[in-house]
Each structure stands twice: as structure tokens, then as C-alpha cells.
């Protein structure tokens, strides 16, 4: 049984993690302080750790460095209330595999753990090409993303240049992933996702935007967006995250296959 350590000083947030992870069959360990978390990491050697960057007795960045020294093979996911690309870069250079902005959403946690802990059953079904929808009013961006996806994966990519069309396509097609810009005509990307969820559409979402607003990022997280990319972004970063999402759905087929 794989062990997960949650180092989080907010008991409510720790309980959310417990509710998300218990059905997945993990052995869960919790720590409300950095001191206790450090001790548990050393004693239990967990497979993964969720570490809040702000703790009452410890600097989360320093604790990350200590943990990677104590248990270098453990996957560490940093939790933060701040979406800062420079901070994310620093944390990943120090050994964090992912930086997760609050609020926490179950779909993202499950996706990340399934990928990093190799919980994906690739023998379960025959893989079929992923169906991906891009919703963005900039034709150049749509072409750029579609080209990058087709160069790296076997997938069927559809584009929509406004929110209304994107919503119509989501309702009438079974897309595996929707890549949505926030600022699109007629319906915003967030409105598209919210409406799709209300109508029972089962799709994973990735947000792209020119905004770096905490409120917008939090709203996207609440709606279950797996990743949030601020424009401009690196193609390789987008492809890496799409790969993670597709692998957890058994939809990842490299172009070379």
C-alpha cells in the first residue's frame, strides 16, 4: 500500500485530502507542523508528500530541501495560495514535481497521483486517439496549439473561436480534454466550463489565459481545471501537461507509434 503524507496546518484542508485520497486506497499520514512532517517523512518514507509552502513553524521551501535530502525518491507536491511562475520554477528546481494552487480540487489531485505514482492501468482497454477541443478566439493560437498536439500525439483536434460554439461542441461530442482560453466572445472560458459541468459533460479542462489574477486562477481551480497556463507559455510545458492528462485517461498515444 502506497503512503501519502500531508503536511498542512489547516485541519479542514487536510480533511479534504483525506476524503479525496482514502477511496484510492492509500495509507494516509497527516502533520499539522513542519517538525512533525519532517519526522514522519524520515520514519515512514512516504511515496508522495503534499507540502504547504506556509507552515507555522517552518519555511516550506526549506522543508522541501530537507525532505529531498531525507527521502530523495519521494514525490513532493507543493501547495500554495499564490500563483507565481517564478516561485513555481524555483520549487521545481528544488525537487517539487508539481506546484498546486489553492483551492484544492479532487480531479487534479487524482490525476497527478495517478501519473506520478504510476497507477495507470495501460492494459485495461485498447487505446484510442484522444479527442481534444480548443476554445480560443485567436486563430493563430488555435493553429499553434493544434499543430503542437498533432506533432506529439495521435489525437483528433477540434477548434472553436467563441464560447457558444465551444459549449455546443462539448455537449454534442465526447471530448477527453478541452483547452479553453478565459477571454473569448459570447461566453468566457470559465462560463463554458461551468455550464458544461452543470449539463453533465464529462471532460477534463486545461485553462490558458493572458491574465494572472488570483481570483481567476482560484475560480478555474474550483471548477476543476487540471492546469492553468498564462500566455505566453512554452510549447514543451503545455505538451508535458497534456501528456500527463492523457496518460491518466489511457489516451496517450505518441505520434511515433
Q: How confident is the model at residue 159 (pLDDT cuts 50, 70, 90)?
A: very high
- pLDDT, averaged across the chain: 89
What is the rounded CA–CA span in Å between residue 177 and residue 173? 11
Residue 127 or 116, more confident: 116
What is the rounded CA–CA span in Å between residue 217 and residue 209? 10
Q: How confident is the model at residue 107 (pLDDT cuts 50, 70, 90)?
A: confident
In this structure, are residues 33 and 57 in contact, taking their beta carbons and an 8 Å threshold? yes
Q: How confident is the model at residue 120 (pLDDT cuts 50, 70, 90)?
A: low
Q: How confident is the model at residue 81 (pLDDT cuts 50, 70, 90)?
A: confident
Mean pLDDT of 236-249: 90
DSSP code at position 31: E
Q: Which helix (H) or strand (E) holds 23?
A: none
What is the rounded CA–CA span in Å between residue 220 and residue 206? 9
CA-wise closest residue to 220 among 191, 241, 187, 253:
191
**117 Cβ contact list (under 8 Å, min separation 6):** 2, 47, 48, 75
The model's pTM is 0.74
The whole-number pLDDT of residue 211 equals 76
Q: Which helix (H) or strand (E) holds 48?
A: strand 48-52
Task: State percent of the chain over pLDDT 90.
Answer: 61
Structural domains of the chain, with CATH: 3-116 (3.40.50.2300), 130-248 (3.40.50.2300)
Largest Cα–Cα distance of the chain, in whole Å? 55
Q: How confident is the model at residue 117 (pLDDT cuts 50, 70, 90)?
A: confident
What is the rounded CA–CA span in Å between residue 72 and residue 48? 11
Q: How confident is the model at residue 101 (pLDDT cuts 50, 70, 90)?
A: confident
CA-wise closest residue to 50 among 84, 82, 16, 23:
16
The whole-number pLDDT of residue 65 equals 95
Mean pLDDT of 182-201: 92
Q: Is residue 256 pLDDT above 80, yes or no? A: no
Task: State percent of the chain over pLDDT 70.
Answer: 96
Amino acid at each position: 500500500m502506497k503512503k501519502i503524507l500531508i503536511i498542512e496546518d489547516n485541519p479542514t484542508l487536510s480533511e479534504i485530502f483525506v476524503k479525496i485520497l482514502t477511496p484510492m486506497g492509500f495509507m494516509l499520514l497527516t502533520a499539522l507542523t513542519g517538525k512533525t512532517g519532517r519526522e514522519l517523512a524520515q520514519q515512514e518514507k512516504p511515496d508522495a508528500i503534499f507540502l504547504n509552502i506556509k507552515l507555522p513553524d517552518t519555511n516550506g521551501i526549506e522543508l522541501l530541501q530537507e525532505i529531498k535530502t531525507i527521502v530523495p525518491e519521494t514525490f513532493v507536491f507543493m501547495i500554495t495560495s499564490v500563483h507565481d511562475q517564478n516561485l513555481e520554477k524555483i520549487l521545481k528546481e528544488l525537487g517539487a514535481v508539481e506546484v498546486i494552487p489553492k483551492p484544492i480540487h479532487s480531479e487534479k489531485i487524482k490525476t497527478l497521483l495517478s501519473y506520478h505514482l504510476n497507477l495507470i492501468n495501460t492494459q485495461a482497454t485498447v487505446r484510442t486517439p484522444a479527442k481534444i477541443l480548443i476554445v480560443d478566439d485567436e486563430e493563430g493560437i488555435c493553429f499553434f496549439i493544434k499543430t503542437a498536439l498533432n506533432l506529439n500525439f495521435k489525437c483528433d483536434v477540434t477548434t472553436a473561436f467563441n464560447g457558444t460554439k465551444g459549449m455546443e461542441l462539448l455537449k454534442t461530442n465526447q471530448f477527453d480534454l478541452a483547452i479553453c482560453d478565459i477571454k473569448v466572445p459570447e461566453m468566457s472560458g470559465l462560463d463554458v466550463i461551468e455550464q458544461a459541468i452543470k449539463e453533465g459533460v464529462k471532460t477534463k479542462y486545461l485553462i490558458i489565459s493572458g491574465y494572472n489574477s488570483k481570483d481567476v486562477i482560484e475560480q478555474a481551480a474550483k471548477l476543476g481545471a487540471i492546469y492553468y497556463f498564462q500566455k505566453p507559455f512554452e510549447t514543451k510545458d503545455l505538451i508535458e501537461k497534456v501528456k500527463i492528462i492523457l496518460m491518466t485517461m489511457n489516451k496517450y498515444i505518441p505520434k511515433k507509434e
